[in-house]
Amino acid sequence: MGKIVAVTGNEACAYALKQINPDVCAAYPITPATDLMQRFSGYVSNGQVDTELVLVESEHSAMSACIGAAAAGGRVATATSSQGLALMWEMLYIAAGTRLPIVMPLVNRALSAPLNIHGDHSDGMGARDTGWIQIYSENAQEAYDNLVQSFRIAEHLEIRVPAMVCMDGFIVSHSIERVEYIDDADVKNFVGKFQAVHPLLDLEHPKSYGPLILTDLYHEYKRAQHEVMTKVPGVVLEVAAEFEKMTGRKYGLFEEYRLEDAEIAIVVMSSAAGTTKDIIDQYREKGVKVGLLKPRMFRPFPFTQIAEALKHVNAIAVLDRADSFGGYGPLFSEIAGAVMSMDHKPAMINKIFGLGGRDYLPEQAEQVINELIKISETGKVGAIKEYIGVRE
Amino acid sequence: MSKKFWETLPQGSVVLEAGSSAKFKTGTWRSMRPKWIEENCIQCMFCWMYCPDMSVKVNAEGKREGFDYDYCKGCGICALECPGKKGNKAIVMEEEGK
Amino acid sequence: MTTKALKLKELAKGEDRFAHGHRMCAGCGAPIVVKQVLMATDYPIIAANATGCLEVSSCIQQFTAWKIPWMHSAFENAAATISGIEAMYRSLVKQGKLEDKNVKFIAFGGDGGTYDIGFQALSGAMERGHDMMYICYDNGAYMNTGIQRSSATPFGADTTTCPAGDVIPGKLQNRKDLTRIMAAHGIPYVAQASPANWMDLMKKVQKAFEIKGPKFMNVIAPCNRGWRSRTDDAIALAKLAFETCYWPLYEIENGITKITAKPKEKKPLVDFLKPQGRFKHMFAPGNEYLLEQAQAYVDAQWERLQKEAAFWGEE
């Protein structure tokens, strides 16, 4: 089954979209996501997909067209990055509030100013409260696999909310890696037929989308939206189990690496997790009980499951590839939220790293582990939040 | 198990019943009331065409009948546009409550 | 499908596709425009709507006035939203997943949502060539938020953000000529219409629906709150707008301009301005120059339009 190829993250995602064959895609170019929809456009031009491609004049219109198309009643996808996601901001909430299962690869990139086209998580983190499911990928294989799974998750009849599949700009989107593609027929079968809910194109039952909802109902609609998010983890795991059966590749809400008996832990998402794992191996050889937790599903955030996974560690370093200026890093805040429910609370530090594509180097992981060892020994925490890898 | 109120709301706030605004009676807004004087009516149907509130009743033959006071907001467009017969209007506005 | 006969008595027998119970102000011009547009044809219609008076008053909680499939999502994106809906329709029909029922796609927007914030999305959708019609109901200001000036607000008008004051006498700029801008997109059909001339408006809708590709129609929609006029004069003012040539009725079909109705006698612009409180200050002693300037602009525009139509032999 499947075939093994050497492709970039963008290429793998474009290929996944080809296999999934959405009914409508709307797209607008933005670095580093451009290349993804550009490759997909080739499939459209060559008649390899049935997709109607709407080449809009802005990302705001891209998401608006996706919203119209999804409400019309079909499978819809787009892709973007950074400023593009920022321009979509208004429409992201509307897509989620209207419960439309749009799927969007987000090639994570820094936000301006100053202008920068390289990878960090500022864009995705800025969209964490929009009501979208967010799944982060470490490498091209994960981006491909997550994209295939995300259609099932978003379109699940008990869910029906949009999903973003995130990968690090350039680091993953433009690096050639070994990727195992699933057979076309298996993807098609796995994703299944799109089931429309209240399609606008049903002329026999005219519906109105987008009413004005005033003070007497708005609060209740939001309560219902919250409820949906509580059902997502179950569906994510259910889909992952089925995916594992098909491919042998295992996915969870997060990944634990040598965490089982760890005394100290690093929490980090996406591509930086790979580098961190290598350094963890080196420290393990020296007898240091260090492990890693890599959140995959950031929205909804699996607080209780993460608390359970981290309950035995003494010290945690949360590495954020985004800053919340004047606050802790967004991932740190979530992990702190998870830790809140623990009886034994570990010490926690927050490192901001890799902004605007700054390389995350093995030395930085070493520096963090050394600090964790010290905290674990002394019980003393210095600065809670610090930038690492910064030129001083 | 009985559902909580918020669980009964339509997914994505979609309104499933077309034309359901008919359940909302805007006639209560009215301070002026149009009165139809049948003998002056030439059945030109201008009142029907220009009514912003679809409140001019029409029968199966396409002939104008009375007003639908459940929805008429009393704007008076019908009265102003009414050509009447020999200088006599077929629609006049009267104060409500008189 | 044969084009529907536009006889009032026959039309009146049909069912409205826009229901009563909507919450537009008494005497609003917008619902008259919508009703005439939807009545002009028996084709199935799906509409998108920009945020604005029409949208906010026609679909509140479980009450919708629309008897056709309808969607609102935001202010600046009615054209993009209908693009997506139309694209999905084409996709599903092409794949054999949906029967082709010759559905017509319309986007409605007010002047704020069309001339200003929605202009980019509109321009993009027209260039992409979607099979759709964009209809702007132009009441010349942001009426829904409380009568703020838009680029459609006429010269001299007093609005809440360009109030006629001691130093600044209302809006200092002429309105943007959106109809001509849309014609410059080179789309197959552009028209300007008025609900007072219902036959002309409905014929334009009928013509547009027989043309494949993007269409644009700009319709004047009097607003008695914003224009500070009476609740009963929407149609009277829409008629005066036509008779003074402030709002000429014309169409540009495949680049050829045609004036579709000409007033028997061109009335002075003051006939249109006088009944409206928003122009009251222009009639104050010492402000004659404002009226002259407003008249000169209308004259120049009308002159140009006539020359354009004459060039094509369509005067």
Read off the tokens for A361. 């180097």
Chain C neighbours, 3+ Cβ pairs < 8 A: A, B
- A58 DSSP assignment: S
Contacts of B22 in chain A (CB under 8 A): none
Interchain contact B21–C (C-beta under 8 A) = yes
Min Cα distance C169 → chain B (Å) is 31
pLDDT tens-place string over residues A305-322: 999 999 999 999 999 999
Interchain contact B15–A (C-beta under 8 A) = yes
Q: Is A267 left (phi over 0), alpha (psi -120 to 50) or beta?
A: beta
- Model-level pTM? 0.98
Nearest CA in chain C to B64: C12
pLDDT tens-place string over residues A323-363: 999 999 999 999 999 999 999 999 999 999 999 999 999 99
Contacts of B13 in chain A (CB under 8 A): 97-98, 210-211, 213, 221
Min Cα distance C88 → chain A (Å) is 5
The DSSP annotation for C4-65 comes to: PP--HHHHHHSPPSB-S---PPTT-SHHHHHHHHHHT--S-EEEEE-SSHHHHHHEETTEE-
pLDDT tens-place string over residues C85-124: 999 999 999 999 999 999 999 999 999 999 999 999 999 9
Determine the residue among C59, C73, C86, C128 to mutate to test chain A binding: the one whose Cβ has the most chain A Cβ atoms within 10 Å. Answer: C73
Looking at the DSSP bridge assignments, the partners of residue B33 are: B94
The mean pLDDT value of chain A amounts to 98
As a whole number of angstroms, the distance between CA C109 and CA A230 comes to: 37
Domain ranges of chain A: 3-247, 254-387
Interchain contact C72–A (C-beta under 8 A) = yes
Domain count, chain B: 1
Nearest to B62 among C13, C22, C31 (CB): C13
Q: Judge whether C226 and C158 are in contact, CB under 8 Å.
A: no
- Report, as an integer, the average pLDDT of A50-54: 98
Q: Dihedral, CA atoms, A63, A65, A70, A75, nearest 10 degrees?
A: -90
Q: Is B80 left (phi over 0), alpha (psi -120 to 50) or beta?
A: alpha
CB–CB contacts below 8 A, A to C: 165
Interchain contact B7–A (C-beta under 8 A) = yes
The DSSP annotation for A288-353 comes to: --EEEEEESEEES--HHHHHHHHTT-SEEEEEESS--TTS--HHHHHHHHHHTT-SSPPEEEEEE-
Contact: C85, A212; criterion CB under 8 Å = no
Percent residues over pLDDT 90 in chain C: 97
Nearest to B49 among C8, C66, C234 (CB): C8
Interchain contact C19–B (C-beta under 8 A) = yes
- Three-class SS of residue C143? coil
Nearest to B14 among A209, A217, A227 (CB): A209
Determine the residue among A212, A219, A220 to mutate to test chain B binding: the one whose Cβ has the most chain B Cβ atoms within 10 Å. Answer: A220
Contact: B16, A209; criterion CB under 8 Å = no
Check whether C1 has a pLDDT greater than 60.
Answer: no
- Three-class SS of residue A46? coil
Confidence of residue C299 (pLDDT cuts 50, 70, 90): very high
Contact: B68, C23; criterion CB under 8 Å = no
* CA-based nearest residue to C102, from C183, C174, C42: C42
Check whether C315 has a pLDDT greater than 70.
Answer: no
Maximum pairwise Cα distance, chain C: 69
pLDDT tens-place string over residues A167-212: 999 999 999 999 999 999 999 999 999 999 999 999 999 999 999 9
* Residues 75-104 of chain A whose Cβ lies under 8 A from any Cβ of chain B: 97-100
As a whole number of angstroms, the distance between CA C34 and CA B54 comes to: 11
Q: Using CB atoms within 10 A of its CB, is residue B21 exposed (0-12), middle (13-18) or buried (19+)?
A: buried
Number of residues that make up chain B: 98
Nearest CA in chain A to B12: A98
- Three-class SS of residue C140? coil
Domain ranges of chain C: 17-311
Cα within 13 Å of Cα(C141), Cβ side:
27
Q: Which domain holds residue B66?
A: 25-95
What is the CATH number assigned to the segment(s) A254-387?
3.40.50.920
User: Within a domain: residue B9?
Assistant: no
pLDDT tens-place string over residues A360-376: 999 999 999 999 999 99
Maximum pairwise Cα distance, chain B: 69
Q: What are phi and psi of C51, to 5 degrees?
A: -55, 140
Contacts of C16 in chain B (CB under 8 A): 54
pLDDT value for A1? 62
Q: Judge whether C190 and C213 are in contact, CB under 8 Å.
A: no
Start-to-end CA distance of chain B, whole Å, equals: 54
Determine the residue among A78, A203, A216, A219 to mutate to test chain C binding: the one whose Cβ has the most chain C Cβ atoms within 10 Å. Answer: A203
Q: Tokens 């334009």 label which residue?
A: C204
Determine the residue among B3, B5, B8, B13 to mutate to test chain A binding: the one whose Cβ has the most chain A Cβ atoms within 10 Å. Answer: B13
As a whole number of angstroms, the distance between CA A264 and CA A261 comes to: 9
Nearest CA in chain C to A26: C84
Contacts of B10 in chain A (CB under 8 A): 198
Q: Give the type of residue at C130.
A: H
Pairing of strands B56-58, B64-67: antiparallel
Q: What is the CATH number of the domain that holds B83?
A: 3.30.70.20
Looking at the DSSP bridge assignments, the partners of residue B40 are: none
As a whole number of angstroms, the distance between CA A138 and CA A278 comes to: 14
Nearest to C87 among A69, A200, A203 (CB): A69
pLDDT value for C314? 72
As a whole number of angstroms, the distance between CA C246 and CA C294 comes to: 10
Contact: C26, B79; criterion CB under 8 Å = no
Min Cα distance A44 → chain C (Å) is 12
Confidence of residue C2 (pLDDT cuts 50, 70, 90): low
One-letter-per-residue 3-state SS of chain B: CCCCHHHHCCHHHCECCCCHHHHCCHHHHCCEEEEECHHHCCCCCHHHHHCCCCCEEECCCCCEEEECCCCCCCCCHHHHHCCCECCECCEEEEECCC
Contacts of C58 in chain B (CB under 8 A): 21
Q: Judge whether B93 and B34 are in contact, CB under 8 Å.
A: yes
Chain A neighbours, 3+ Cβ pairs < 8 A: B, C
pLDDT value for C297? 98
Read off the tokens for C279. 């122009």
Contact: C85, A200; criterion CB under 8 Å = yes
**Residues A174-208 as b or e (16 or more Cβ within 10 Å = b):** beebebbbbeeebbeebbeebebebbbbebeebbb
* Residues 11-30 of chain A whose Cβ lies under 8 A from any Cβ of chain C: 23-24, 26
C-alpha A81: how far from its chain's center?
Answer: 12
CA distances from A15 to A7, A43, A48, A49, C91 (A): 10, 9, 11, 11, 20
pLDDT value for C17? 97
As a whole number of angstroms, the distance between CA A123 and CA A32 comes to: 13
Low-confidence ranges of chain B (pLDDT < 50): none
Check whether A91 has a pLDDT greater than 80.
Answer: yes
C-alpha A68: how far from its chain's center?
Answer: 24
Topology of the domain covering C17-311: Rossmann fold (3.40.50)
Q: Tokens 């026959």 label which residue?
A: C10
Interchain contact C58–B (C-beta under 8 A) = yes
Pairing of strands A297-299, A290-295: unpaired
- Report, as an integer, the average pLDDT of C234-255: 98
Cα within 13 Å of Cα(B42), Cβ side:
11
Dihedral sign, Cα of residue C2, residue C4, residue C5, residue C6: negative
Confidence of residue A3 (pLDDT cuts 50, 70, 90): very high
The DSSP annotation for A94-116 comes to: HHHHTT---EEEEEE---SSSP-
Is the ipTM higher than 0.85? The answer is yes
User: Within a domain: residue B5?
Assistant: no
- Report, as an integer, the average pLDDT of C17-45: 98
Say how many C-beta atoms besides its own lie within 10 A of residue A48's C-beta: 13
Read off the tokens for C98. 């949906």
One-letter-per-residue 3-state SS of A143-205: HHHHHHHHHHHHHCCCCCCCEEEEEECCCCCCCCEEEEECCHHHHHHHHCCCCCCCCCCCCCC
pLDDT tens-place string over residues C63-91: 999 999 999 999 999 999 999 999 999 99
Contact: A24, C87; criterion CB under 8 Å = yes
* CA-based nearest residue to C76, from C105, C104, C115: C115
Say how many C-beta atoms besides its own lie within 10 A of residue A381's C-beta: 13
Start-to-end CA distance of chain C, whole Å, equals: 30
Min Cα distance C69 → chain B (Å) is 8
Pairing of strands C133-138, C215-220: parallel
Interchain contact B29–C (C-beta under 8 A) = yes
Nearest to C26 among B15, B61, B73 (CB): B73
**For A3-247, which CATH class?**
alpha beta
pLDDT tens-place string over residues A203-257: 999 999 999 999 999 999 999 999 999 999 999 999 999 999 999 999 999 999 9
Min Cα distance C204 → chain A (Å) is 24
